[in-house]
Chains A and B, each alone.
Chain A
Amino acid sequence: MNSVWLAIIGFIVFALGYRYYSKFIAEKIYRLDPDYVTPAHKYDDGVDFVPTKKVVLWGHHFSSVAGASPILGPAIALYWGWGPAFLWVILGTVFAAGVHDFGTLVLSVRNKGQSIGTLTDRLIGKRAKMLFLFIILILVLMVNAVFAWVISNLFIQFPAAVIPIFIEIPIAIWIGYAVYKRKAKMLVPSLIALAVMYGSAVLTSKLPFLQIDLVRYFGGADNTVLFGLDGVSMSFFVWIVILLVYCYFASTLPVWKLLQPRDYINSHQLVVGLIMLYAGLLVLRPELTAPMTNEVSDVSWFPLLFITIACGAISGFHGLVASGTTSKQLDKETDARFVGYLGSVGEGILALISIIAVATLFANAGDFRAAYSDFGAASLGGMSNFINGAAQLATGIAIPADIARTIVTVIVVSFAATSLDTSLRLMRYIISEIGSEYNFKPLTNMHVATSVAVVSSAALVLIPKGPNGFGSGGYLLWPLFGTSNQLLAGVSLLLISVWLKKQGRNFFYTFVPMIFIFSMTLYAMFVQVVFQWSGLGETDANMLLFILGGIIFVFAFWIILEAFRVFFKTDKTPPIDTSM
């Protein structure tokens, strides 16, 4: 089958979903009111609460939620063939993610622009909020540990990408300074920055001496360098230390100095990447060489597919963004459909190109099965497969393969680096919040909280021996990432359902995806904790995953019980905004 059909079918389903399903949800379920005074107008302070045009807000929302996860998840999930991944991405986007992202936005708008965390506290209770915080803490710890390894791995595999990535840092600092202190415009300098980065990518691809290849510097993979570490392990160690030191500074500096201008450049990269890959797809029109379904014996697609592809189908993280910043800037309540629903469609489009890039990479199904021999190999090679597949698509618009590979690596590392330092910053906030909640003052200090975040992430990365060798300790916990993220999505859907029920509305359309997400998540957790990690099944015991997975499972169950208690409570006085 030609891959263009996959893109066409995906786009048609997304378009129909937006045109009809989101309209139905907006009018009959959320009952958007064009005259409702949104928090952006009510509390307009020129900073957080600012009425914003819907197109601008959509772009901002989409660039905030788009990252490496909608690429990585589908690239791994192709292990079960492209069919299940494709179906889950398009149907999940239309019936689950769209309703979820759109709903959290509306719920937050109807509640003074408060975030999902605050709403959990108000609607479910303080206990649930603390459980919630601990789950998010483990979630961001996993992101730090895994993304540090992913970026290091990409630097080792694609050394030509190192210089273009590192060039971005001084340029971003310069742009931040120019914009903040000299009130300069950002568009032209950031486009120049992009040109410099891609220009250097061309140079490093063609000139091997510009490739920062640590493995070669350390005398090759077989050479023992220090402390018994070979060339590859030592390279991982050096890159991980550099990345975590960078993250310390990136997450403690004022955001306008580095993070904001760098995100600005990365937003261009998102646009460039999507245009480059879809244009390449239209020109090349490659055949799908991966099988539609792949029979496997180690890990069943049901229920693991639904937690492997989180971003790109449905992701709890989107609810945090929608209720955290987007809801405070919504001009009219009716704009929520465009911003929230189309934001998740944007993620779906990114996930779709990830599926197509990997499914067209291999020469035939045999090559695919060799690369995706087991789930471990799929997890390990997912990102590299995407890069190679995407580079192959990019050759369709006359970019030489080696340069395309470097540029795609630069784009992916930029997204992953953004995820890494955002999650480290988030971890710092959570540690501070837990410190103030339990009245432990030292943790509320920015440098102490950041140090705790960096040291614990480094410990997880470097101390345990991970499945992918030295430095991949984060992968030990990675199976918990999807479950924690989907749990967050389930809680958000439940909050929306509680709100709809209290308004006397039909909550079927949010309740059904919620039941689906909760059941898949708990089922997957139960199977993994009991049959994979406890040692009761065929595999050996993994006590670290068993204990942490068990804790998250209990927390998840506890939150759900607390939430259902609230859901079925016959409370006549709704604790939420009734001004509708």
Chain B
Amino acid sequence: MDILEKFKKVITIYDEILQQPHRTEIAREMREEEDLFTLLCFSEMLGLPNPAFYYTLELYPFVIERFHDWHLRMGMEKSPLNGIRCC
């Protein structure tokens, strides 16, 4: 490995070190936004009237995996909603 490559490697590690806390915080913000979006999509099933229900219904196939991840993260082994059988 020549000096330039070594230098590049050091810079990459340095950048990774500095990125680490930001990655965590940004991922947390993203996750919170996604949770809110999931809630909006499934709000009818929780008894909250949703005028955009017919449109969000179409999103179910796309968000079902995220929903599964969410209920696992919340400590629920199985889906808490009767209408959604993700696992």
Contact = CB atoms under 8 A, between A and B. Distances in A.
Interface in A208-264: 254-256, 260-261, 263-264
B29 interface: yes
Interface in A52-70: 52-53, 55-60, 63-64
Contact of A264 (B13, B22, B28, B73): B22
A198 to B, nearest CB: 18
B73 A45 contact: yes
Interface in A323-377: 325, 329
Q: Give the interface size bracket for B toward A.
A: 20 to 34
A446 to B, nearest CB: 14
Contact of A267 (B18, B25, B27, B73): B18
Contacts of B17: 55-56, 58-60, 63, 267
Interface stretch (A77-85, A179-187, A433-441, A513-521): A179-187
Contact of A263 (B11, B21, B23, B28): B21
Contacts of B18: 59, 63, 186-187, 190, 264, 267-268
Contact of A256 (B14, B20, B29, B31): B29
B21 A53 contact: no
B3 interface: no
Interface in B54-81: 73
Contacts of A263: 21
B22 A47 contact: no
B4 interface: no
Contact of B25 (A187, A255, A329): A255
A287 interface: no
B19 interface: yes
Interface of B: 11, 13-29, 31, 73
30 contacts: A47-B27, A47-B28, A48-B24, A50-B23, A53-B13, A53-B16, A56-B16, A56-B17, A58-B17, A59-B13, A59-B16, A59-B17, A59-B18, A179-B22, A179-B26, A180-B26, A180-B29, A186-B15, A186-B19, A187-B14, A187-B18, A190-B18, A256-B22, A256-B25, A264-B18, A264-B21, A264-B22, A267-B17, A267-B18, A268-B18
Interface of A: 45-48, 50, 52-53, 55-60, 63-64, 179-180, 185-187, 190, 254-256, 260-261, 263-264, 267-268, 271, 325, 329
